Amino acid sequence: MGKEIYAMIKIKNLKLKNRFLLAPMLEPNDIAFRMLSKKSGCALTYTGMTSPLSQKEIILDDRPAIQIFANSEEGIEDFIKKYDKKVKLWDLNLGCPSDLSKKLGHGAFLKDIIIIERIIKKMRSSTKKPITIKIRKTKIAFKILKIAEKYVDAIAIHPRTISQGYSGEPDYEFALKIKKATLLPVIFSGNVNKKNVSKILNDFDFVFIGREAIGNPKIFSELIGKNSKITFSQYLKLAKKYNLPFRQIKYQAMNFTKGIRAAKKARKELISVKNIKDIESKQIF
C-alpha cells in the first residue's frame, strides 16, 4: 500500500493507527473478542448495537466506539454521559435490517428524517467525542447524509439493501456515490477481505472488517503486515477474566474453528461441551 494511504488517519480529533476497524457486530463483539482484535492491530473496535435504555453494564477496556440504536432521543443523553469518558467515539446504527428493527422502527427502518435528525442532534449535544453513523443502501441514504454532515464526523456505508440482508453483492458504485457526495471520511463495509482491501482503501478512508474477523481476529495483524500470535487460548483467557457466559464462549469456540484443519470434526466435537474444561480437553485449538 502506498505511503499516501497513511497520510491522514483521523476521525475528527481521534488519531487512528491504521484504517482497519472492527465492524459493529452484535453477537461476536464481546469484550474479550474486541480486546483480542485490538491486540491484533485493529485501530478501533465497535460494540454491537446497544440500546441507550439498556441497564446492562458495558465493559469498555478496549476503549471502543459504542454503537447505539434508537427510534427516539429517549435516554441518549444520560447513556452518553455515563460512558463518554471510556469510549473513543459514538456511532448510530441506521442500517440494521433485522425483524426486531422492523418491529421497533430503528436501524434501517428508521425512515423519518426528522426523528433521525433529532437523534443525531441529541448525540452531538451530549458529547465532544467523534460521532459516526452507519447506513445502508436505501432511498433516503443521501438525505441522511446531508443531515449527518451537520453533526457527525464520518459515515459508514454498507451498500446492501434491506432485503439483501448480509448476502448478495454490496453495491460498490452506490458506496462510491456516497463518497463523492461528501467531504466526510467514509468507512466502507461489505465483504472486505485481504484480497480486495487495497483497492477499497484507494476509494474510501476506512474499512470495516466484519465476518472475515469472526473467529479470526488475527486478520488485523495480517492486514497491517505484523506477525502476531492471536489464538483461541488468548480469547479464553480474556473470556475468563471478564467472566463471560459459557454459551458465549462456546459460540466463539465454534467461530474459531474457522481456520483450523478438520474444522467440521472440531465443530461436531464442540456441540456437546458443557463447560470450559470440556472445551480445553478436546485439544482442538
Nearer to ligand FMN, 68 or 270 (CB): 68
By CB under 6 A, is residue 67 in contact with ligand FMN? yes
Q: Is 280 helix (H, G, I), strand (E, B) or coil?
A: helix
Q: Kindly tell me which residue out of 21, 28, 123, 273 binds ligand FMN, with binding defined by CB under 6 A.
A: 28
* Nearest distance, CB of residue 158 and ligand FMN, angstroms: 4
* Nearest distance, CB of residue 281 and ligand FMN, angstroms: 28
By CB under 6 A, is residue 159 in contact with ligand FMN? no
Q: Kindly tell me which residue out of 192, 223, 238, 270 binds ligand FMN, with binding defined by CB under 6 A.
A: 192
The grid cell for 222 is: 495480517
| Residue located via cell numbers 464481546 | 30
Which residues, numbered 7-26, are part of the site for ligand FMN (CB under 6 A)?
A: 23-26
Q: Is 21 helix (H, G, I), strand (E, B) or coil?
A: strand
* Nearest distance, CB of residue 255 and ligand FMN, angstroms: 10
Q: What are the Cα distances from residue 141, in Å, to 112, 134, 146, 181? A: 12, 10, 9, 11
CB 82 within 8 A of CB 92: no
- Beta partners for residue 133, in sequence order: 92, 155
- Comparing C-alpha atoms, which of 45, 25, 26, 27 is closest to residue 35? 45
Nearer to ligand FMN, 53 or 262 (CB): 53
Q: Which residues bind ligand FMN (CB under 6 A)?
A: 23-28, 48-49, 67, 93, 95-96, 134, 158, 166, 189-192, 208, 210-212
